[in-house]
Structure 1
Amino acid sequence: MSSVIATTAIRGRFLDIQNTVAQAREIHDQVRYVEDGLLITEQGKIKWFGAWEEGKELLSSDIQIQHYKDQLIVPGFIDTHIHFPQTEMIGAYGEQLLEWLNTYTFPTEIQFNNKNYADKIAQFFIHELLKNGTTTALVFCTVHPTSVDALFEAAEQHQMRIIAGKVLMDRHAPDELCDTPESAYTDSKTLIEKWHGKGRNLYAITPRFAPTSTPEQLQKAQQLKAEYPNVYIHTHLSENKNEIAWVKDLFPNQKGYLDVYHHYGLTGSKSIFAHCVHLNEDEWDCMHATNSAIAFCPTSNLFLGSGLFPLNKTWEKQVKVGLGTDIGAGTSFNQLQTINEAYKVQQLQGNKLSAFESLYHATLGGAKALDLDHQLGNFNVGKEADFVVLDLAATALQELRQQRAKSIEDALFALMTMGDDRNIHATYIYGQPAYVKDVKIS
């Protein structure tokens, strides 16, 4: 594990959202843009933040100042739903959800019973996150405990905050990917004891989705959550209409898809449900009442033809939401590209997604969805110092467009529309660089 540098000082242009909000229209008032700012970190936390002229006297003469004069510094991007075992099958052709799982996903995931293989993909995966400015992620592993160990071990090397867990799946999948209710419980319990709260690692109880878990296994998930109330729940919900119909057949006594999870005590403030494209009114009300969260995954929803997520409904119903790349149905690790597609999903529904709302969902709003907004998501003093240095003009076309930017909001929107991993100049984890473009970091 990397050692934490005692004190770091970063100078440059900073942009963040100061506080969580109840409505999108309130975000603009919470935008904080410091044209010439200073961020001081100590032991991985933000010690001071403000204007350079106000803060420079706080620095001792021996502190080296990293000055990003031409870049823009924002809080680290937060990915609220992604599958690390699907990294190498991104861009698999031609299917919708259920067929896609059987044709591509399950055969790929079988390989993760091999620890060496899992280690190789985990290292690649973590590097891709950092290369794309993602500093925190909620991650699906596979049914194999080795996959969980591999991911947390790779993240630990950077002191990166990762939430992850072993998949629970005891039916409707290949035998090599099925556990049992009892093994799911015992393996998860062992992994929770091993990893949850160790460093910055956090654990998520992870039923793949209701159709691949028997009622007996969901009861075991409920038991785990009762025994470890501080761990997360991470699963899928209402992604695809055929999936919803299948759940209705499998669980006829429940009044809907979400009610399956709710019945087994799997909703709550640390429960994150990916997709939620087709929720009914009762389900929206249940999401609100239980303080559960949604991961909005636009590139995946478009790629699999799942539907258009009604983002405005989250504000109407007061339901927490963050952005998810959902690799490998999602088509990019990059949150700028994810925002680009989120904007289009909203346009197709007659709604507008502003640059500042997009930034909110990718940073502080994502932290709120993960129940971590007291620790992550902006530059407030005391928070963990995870942030991204962005090059606004990484290409000739971007440079031309940025010359026409009339405001920081316009510049940010252009970046989010045209940006990708080339715009990530540096990614800082816990106050120190974990990725710098074109520089090898040991």
Structure 2
Amino acid sequence: MQWAALFGATVSVVIMFLLTWWAALIAFGIVIFLLGYVLYKKPDVNWGSSMQASSYNMALNYSVGLSEVDEHIKNYRPQCLVLTGPPNFRPALVDFVGTFTKNLSLMLCGNVLIGPRKQKMPESRLTADGHTKWLVKRKIKAFYTDVVAEDLRSGVQMLIQAAGLGKMRPNILVLGYKRNWLTASPQSLEDYVGILQYGHAGSSAPGEWPRGWVRGLLPDTSQPPLTAFSSLLPATGSVLLCLTPPKISGTAEWEKPKHKPRTAAAVSARPCPANFWKTCPLLSGRIVSLLSKFRLGFHEVHILPDINQKPRPEHIKRFDDLIAPFRLNDGFKDEATVNEMRQGCPWKISDEEVDKNRAKSLRQVRLNEILLDYSRDAALIAITLPIGRKGRCPSSLYMAWLETLSQDLRPPVVLTRGNQENVLTFYCQ
């Protein structure tokens, strides 16, 4: 194509001179004069190239064409909206998500600018290019987007509703752990838990989003390299299969082959029968067979029969001490006073709420004990996010669950919750 264009241009010049040679000389003189003037002035203009000019049309056509493709398990991609704020403020979170979206799927770094619109809009325009250049310099294939809102919760809701284009819309919400929840303002605590609830069940969001909650992603360079990933997903079924996370490859500590996931686990979530140990080998074999049909790589399977045991007393006391500053202590107060206290302090925990959620609270304490026993030397721990029903679980109690679940764990912890969307294929001969 290039040589054909050159040949056509040469023929046109020859024909022009053959028809009217003096007019051709005048045209060439004007072109040379304009070229010399531009080279002398050197205007600050990006002329670009024809390939760059056509890249927009190509991207637009492919995006529109993608909207006509039906979604199925073969074209599923983990498209992530990561609440990073300014991306350079949370490089570990950016790197972690970038490891499984690199060259594969969409990644959006979202930032909420809190304040008056007239004041924050100029700041948004000035900083957007800088954040994008930081992502490019760090070799993270991601987009940066921001919104201006009055508070964090409404800003995140705007991002969830408006982020993406067509089928290239985020289906996973990723955010970091609020480490200062014990000392933060009650309103910020309510906003954080509200974001988690909205991200999973917001009707205005594109479906029910899976959520990712990440804690402690900064690698501990003083410790020797770790070798395995540990997964634990407690459920209500008689036996729960723990699927290993997808292969994590990319940069930093997750790039080394020794950090590939190798561990799967099976957890009994109901009281075990008397003949459990007799049926354990058979159960383990069935789980291995199911993992193979899902074509998931794994190293070993563990059966945990004691998941429903009562936690140790010292750990129960530690949890009670954790929620003590947030309790209403309304046991000896009249109903009108209690209702007034609840309306004024919705993040506070009443005695009734403590009793109703006691079993679930002890569950988190027991799971933390299991993680300390079985996953102390893992490189990454993945576990399901507990459900806190709106109106029945105050924000402070829910944060106490998360704190208890991940307490004293050396490896980074990722808490996830899905939306019952099929993302695996089943192999059957």
Structure of greater Rg: 2
* Higher relative contact order structure (alpha carbons within 8 Å, sequence separation ≥ 6): 1
Q: Which has the higher helix share?
A: 2
Question: Which band: TM-score by shorter chain?
Answer: under 0.3
Q: Which has the higher strand share?
A: 1
TM-score (norm 1): 0.26
TM-score (norm 2): 0.26
